[in-house]
A and B are shown apart, each in its own frame.
Chain A
């Protein structure tokens, strides 16, 4: 079960992560040039819409197609994603993630049927036109049928995420996040789910809190500080180095063993994550684009003008609460050291919420 969720999530994030550079370019252009940005510029801000509606979904559809069927798969994925994007009003990331690979799969089947029987000298003609014709057919279907359906799904998800924020339930969303993260579903959640939700919201309002719920390094920082203060042995010694990689390098994976090895420390993550989410909610905080990796250095340029108190305040609160709770937990329930170091204490089975 865990492996299959990881696999789907891995495929989704695998389509997004190689394209993060383009997301950052879009985020910076947005943060700078939109009317509420740092250097408003009407001409330059014309790039914002086409990039988010067309460029980014098409890159994802291309990458998804390429994962299934090489460059030819990428090409047909890009064509079909364009058709979906044209037919809808919001950025079609989910559509790209599903139908980029799906259309590449169709091209793979057609190639497998046609390529062995191509007469000598006609290979190129058949290759090019089979892909072109298939892409045309799929694009028509995508534009007329799939695009409206995906827009409907996106509307529903958007309403749901808005409802969660409006109802003040953001802190509760943190509970499953912290558990899923340490099971290595961090990329799947952030890029597969929250990324598309965030982009849809940011395209309308200029910022989104969904970019921060998983990627904020605050709670993890606090939990590691707790180990530094109240931990023992190698846990204590390795904490400062881990803090640097986690908080500045943005590689959150390095803190997972500190939870997996002593699962009760998830309490520190929950306490920090929920207080942080509550602060984000109260201050209406958000980032203009996805911060990846989840480093403080990736956050700074993506904070909207006037949003520093919300973003950095939430991160600081998350870190402090998680450090305090983590220290109390470590004092009450110290890590049991074994001769073999940590190896004996770490299993995936004793993480709360995972059977």
Chain B
């Protein structure tokens, strides 16, 4: 089963997943890295194809259209889904929760 939540201080690795692992995931990854850096977060952020999400990912971020498949693959991760590729509230909330030490919840 996918994890339903994880405390912020246990998040060491975030993986952005898209279909091919080369296009949109890379783009959103770079956005997330910038935001994490701004927030002073020390977390490894990577991207991957949805069917090859690494097992050690604590949090997986995927578009709502792919999150069902992300959940099948990333059984040990919290999966956060988003709708917009730019300025999505879910992405901003993730960064916010991480910097404030909140629980990261599956969505």
Return chain A residues, CB-CB under 8 Å to B22.
17-18
CA distance A238 to B87 in the complex (A): 8
A331 within 8 A of B: no
A293 within 8 A of B: yes
Q: How far is the CB of B42 from chain A (nearest CB, A)?
A: 28
CA distance A326 to B102 in the complex (A): 41
Given contacts A242-B86, A346-B83, contact A251 B23 (CB under 8 A): yes
- Per-residue CB contact flags for chain B residues 17-58 toward chain A (1 = under 8 Å, else 0) read 011101110010000000000000000000001110000000
A6-14, A145-153, A196-204, A304-312 - the one binding chain B: A6-14
Q: Are B86 and A254 in contact (CB under 8 A)?
A: yes
What range describes how many residues of B lie at the interface?
20 to 34
Return chain B residues, CB-CB under 8 Å to A261.
83
CA distance A34 to B49 in the complex (A): 36
Given contacts A6-B69, A238-B84, contact A13 B19 (CB under 8 A): yes
Q: Are A342 and B84 in contact (CB under 8 A)?
A: yes
A166 within 8 A of B: no
Question: What are 28 A-to-B residue pairs whose CB atoms are below 8 Å?
Answer: A3-B68, A3-B69, A6-B66, A10-B19, A10-B51, A11-B51, A13-B19, A14-B49, A17-B20, A18-B22, A184-B19, A184-B63, A186-B19, A188-B19, A238-B86, A241-B86, A242-B85, A249-B27, A251-B23, A253-B18, A253-B19, A254-B85, A257-B63, A260-B64, A341-B89, A343-B83, A343-B89, A348-B64
Return chain B residues, CB-CB under 8 Å to A234.
87
Return chain A residues, CB-CB under 8 Å to B68.
3
Q: Are A10 and B64 in contact (CB under 8 A)?
A: no
Contact of B65 among A238, A256, A341, A342 (CB under 8 A): A256
A183 within 8 A of B: yes
Given contacts A187-B20, A251-B24, A253-B23, contact A346 B64 (CB under 8 A): yes
Q: Are A7 and B69 in contact (CB under 8 A)?
A: yes
Q: How far is the CB of A142 from chain B (nearest CB, A)?
A: 26
Q: How far is the CB of B26 from chain A (nearest CB, A)?
A: 9
Return chain A residues, CB-CB under 8 Å to B65.
182-184, 256, 260, 348
CA distance A245 to B63 in the complex (A): 17
**Given A238-B87, A348-B64, 16 other A-B residues pairs in contact with their CB atoms under 8 A:** A3-B68, A3-B69, A10-B50, A10-B69, A14-B51, A17-B22, A183-B65, A184-B65, A234-B87, A245-B86, A256-B63, A257-B84, A257-B85, A261-B83, A341-B89, A348-B65
Q: Are B83 and A6 in contact (CB under 8 A)?
A: no
**Which of B18, B22, B49, B84 has the most chain A CB atoms closer than 10 A to its own CB?**
B84
**Which of B23, B49, B51, B89 has the most chain A CB atoms closer than 10 A to its own CB?**
B23
Q: Are B86 and A253 in contact (CB under 8 A)?
A: no
Q: Are A342 and B20 in contact (CB under 8 A)?
A: no
Return chain A residues, CB-CB under 8 Å to B24.
251, 253-254
CA distance A13 to B49 in the complex (A): 11
